[in-house]
Structure formats: structure tokens, C-alpha cells
Amino acid sequence: SEIASLEALDRYQGTVVATHCNARALVPGPRQLSDQQIRLIGERDGLMGVVLYNVFLRAGYRKGDPKAQVTLDHVVAHIDHICQVLGDAAHVGIGSDMDGGFGAGDIPTGLDSAADLPNLAAALRQKGYREGDVAGIMGGNWLNLLQRSFNH
């Protein structure tokens, strides 16, 4: 719950990672993170992994609805919202779950497998994201977080 996560964030002052969450402002529900939770993750130099599950990307989408109802624009909207809340792209990455968490019918149009993730990078560029930010979102931010953690 949001209350429990806020209490935990109040007690623990270290880096926090939310590996598979999207923005509640775009898709309401307790599984998504509020702007307050997103801000706290950023303030702790943490990371939020946007999950590519259609149910979490488009409000009102239900498992089994046509895949075409969710596009890469929905993914970009969640990433962009997080970046706008935090003021930069340093605290967002991808938490794809494309390793068997669900099938190709449950991820946005434009993605059928991990081999199609460059399509998401292209959509971010088309939205106006700079190459360094795209590289961070697509994996570099996770690597930076891991390096900081191992060097700590």
C-alpha cells in the first residue's frame, strides 16, 4: 500500500528501487506509484523500472483486450511523466518482464520480444529525449545504480 511504502521510506534513508511500477497519475490503482512515491525514490537516488505490461500502461485496459489498444506512446507517456516529476531522466529505466512474466500479446504494439526494445528507444528519441537520456533509460541507469551499490 502507499501508506506502508511511505512509512518504509520514512524509516529507511538509503537508495530505493521500484523495479516494476508505472505512474498512478496515468493509470490509477494501488499497483502504480503516486507522484509522492516517485519523488521520494528520486530523492534517494533510486530507480523506477517501467513495466511493459499493457494492463499497467493504459487505464481501462483489461487482459485479453486487443494488443493494438496499447502502443509505445503509452510507455513513453509513463517514462515522460516520471521524468517530469523528477526533473531528469536519471531515475527511470525499464522493468520489462519480457523474460517470461507474460506473453507477446500482453505488451505494447511495436514490441513482440526483447529484440524489439530498440523501437522503444526510437519512440523516446521521437518524443525529444536526448541520446544520453535514452541510453540511460534503456539500461545505463540500471548499470549506474548497480555500480554505485557495489562501490558503496
Q: Tens digits of per-residue pLDDT, 74-92?
A: 999 999 999 999 999 999 9
Give the separation between CA 36 and CA 110, rounded to whole angstroms.
Answer: 31
Query: Is 151 within the bounds of a domain?
Result: no
Question: What is residue 139's DSSP assignment?
Answer: I
- Count of structural domains, the chain: 1
Would you say 138 and 120 are in contact if contact means Cβ atoms under 8 Å apart?
A: yes
Q: Residue 67: give the domain boundaries.
A: 2-145
Query: Is 152 within the bounds of a domain?
Result: no
pTM: 0.94
Report, as an integer, the average pLDDT of 46-57. Answer: 96
Query: Is 52 within the bounds of a domain?
Result: yes
Give the separation between CA 72 and CA 96, rounded to whole angstroms.
Answer: 13
Judge whether residue 6 has pLDDT over 90: no
Would you say 136 and 89 are in contact if contact means Cβ atoms under 8 Å apart?
A: yes
Query: Is 51 within the bounds of a domain?
Result: yes
Q: Which CATH number characterizes residue 8's domain?
A: 3.20.20.140
pLDDT-derived band of residue 98, with 50, 70 and 90 as boundaries? confident
Query: Is 76 within the bounds of a domain?
Result: yes
Query: Is 61 within the bounds of a domain?
Result: yes
